[in-house]
Amino acid sequence: MIRARTFTDARQQSHSNAELNWWIFMRISGLILVFLILGHIYMTFIQVSESDATYDAVVAKLANPAWKFYDWLILALSLMHGANGARYSIEDYVRSRPNRAWVKGLFYTVVALVFAFGTVGLFSI
């Protein structure tokens, strides 16, 4: 994990290109997700009651390709952003190497399953 205050620090601290790319990815995806997710919460929670999210309403909404794309973008970006954020936490708190490998492996598997499930759901309508 990079504990940097500025981009220059981050470049000096990163052990690998991958680590620096993840650092940059967190900033870019975060900036995009601010708009996507606050918009999603406003449109589907503040304006509309969640009791309206019935089977028919959800199927009708997700049949629209624009919402498919919007929701899939949130799904992909937020899962990658969340998985990398949780990886930072795991690397901070799970100190023993064998445990860390198990925890990470299990966690990445769950994330991959959720991603596959969400993608299949979105594009099966």
Residues that bind another protein (CB under 8 A): 4-7, 10, 27, 30-31, 33-34, 37-38, 41, 45-46, 49-51, 53-55, 58-59, 75, 78-79, 82-83, 85-86, 89, 110-111, 114, 117-118, 120-122, 124
Per DSSP, 124 falls in state: T
Here the tokens at position 116 are 């596959």
Residues whose CB is less than 8 angstroms from the CB of residue 23 and which lie 6 or more positions away in sequence, other chains included: 2, 4, 10, 14
Going by C-alpha positions, the residue among 107, 111, 106, 51 that lies closest to residue 76 is: 111
Minimum CB separation of residue 18 from another protein in Å reads 18
Residue with Cβ nearer another protein (83 or 94): 83
Closest CB to another protein among 18 and 46?
A: 46
Q: How far is the CB of 17 from another protein (least distance, A)?
A: 18
Q: Which is nearer to another protein, 18 or 31 (CB)?
A: 31
Per-residue HEC secondary structure of 52-95 comes to HCCHHHHHHHHCCHHHHHHHHHHHHHHHHHHHHHHHHHHHHHCC
The nearest distance, CB 61 to another protein, in angstroms, is 10
